[in-house]
């Protein structure tokens, strides 16, 4: 597996994540569509969480730059990995994990394509939940009853994870960053 450090780059992962053709070479004309992500969590106290399905995933890392020269001015800054998921039986466990500051040994986010194919994978090691924010999103139903549009509400929550180590894998390519590793 090819491994490179995530030092001088900005990465944003979302539902449309990676472009790759059948031959394995990047193809700017083919955008795989990922309908959701499956998250597996293993905590020290809680053990294995139920499988969680997420509607959205976001993450970024920033390399601070000097405004005049464009040269790096400091250490890279990882932002939390945030998932947006429907409320589920995992919700109380996630809330308990933030309330008790539970260390999560591993958090694995597997992107699943609309055709059920597996896409990129993000693995966090020694993660903690940094924020837990339940909210609802109003949707308008397509059907009308007696001329009245019925609103439908979706209960969602945003869960953000901080971590010691992150590994992003897609096919045979992998990149990782570890706060405890020495940087050249």
Per-domain residue ranges of the chain: 2-178
Answer whether 0.95 is exceeded by the pTM: no
State whether the Cα torsion 66-11-98-131 is positive or negative: positive
Reference 137, options 122, 120, 155; nearest CA is: 155
Q: What is the pLDDT along the chain (184 residues), one digit of tens a residue?
A: 333 333 222 222 233 222 232 334 443 334 445 556 777 777 667 667 778 888 889 999 999 999 999 999 988 899 999 999 999 888 998 999 999 999 999 999 998 877 778 889 999 999 999 999 999 876 655 555 666 665 666 789 999 999 999 999 998 999 999 987 776 5
CB atoms within 10 A of CB 175: 17
Strand 173-178 to 2-5 pairing? parallel
Strand positions, DSSP E, 61-147 = 61-62, 77-78, 81-86, 104-113, 118-145
The CATH number corresponding to 2-178 among 2.60.40.740, 2.30.110.20, 2.40.160.20, 3.40.50.720 equals 2.30.110.20
**Which tokens belong to 86?**
């429907």
């Amino acid at each position: 597996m090819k491994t490179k450090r995530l030092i001088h780059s900005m990465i944003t992962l979302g539902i449309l994540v990676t472009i790759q053709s059948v031959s394995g070479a990047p193809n700017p004309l083919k955008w795989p569509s990922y309908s959701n992500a499956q998250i597996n969590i293993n905590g020290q106290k809680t053990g294995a969480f139920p499988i969680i399905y997420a509607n959205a995933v976001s993450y970024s890392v920033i390399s601070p730059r000097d405004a005049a020269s464009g040269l790096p001015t400091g250490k890279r800054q990882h932002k939390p990995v945030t998932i947006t998921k429907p409320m589920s039986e995992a919700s109380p466990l996630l809330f308990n994990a933030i309330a008790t500051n539970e260390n999560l040994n591993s958090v694995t986010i597997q992107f699943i394509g609309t055709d059920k194919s597996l896409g990129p994978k993000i693995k966090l090691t020694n993660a903690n939940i940094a924020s837990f924010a339940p909210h609802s999103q109003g949707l308008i139903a397509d059907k009308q009853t007696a001329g009245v549009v019925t609103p439908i509400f979706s209960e969602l929550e945003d869960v953000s994870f901080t971590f010691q180590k992150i590994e992003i894998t897609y096919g045979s390519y992998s990149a990782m960053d570890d706060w405890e590793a020495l940087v050249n």
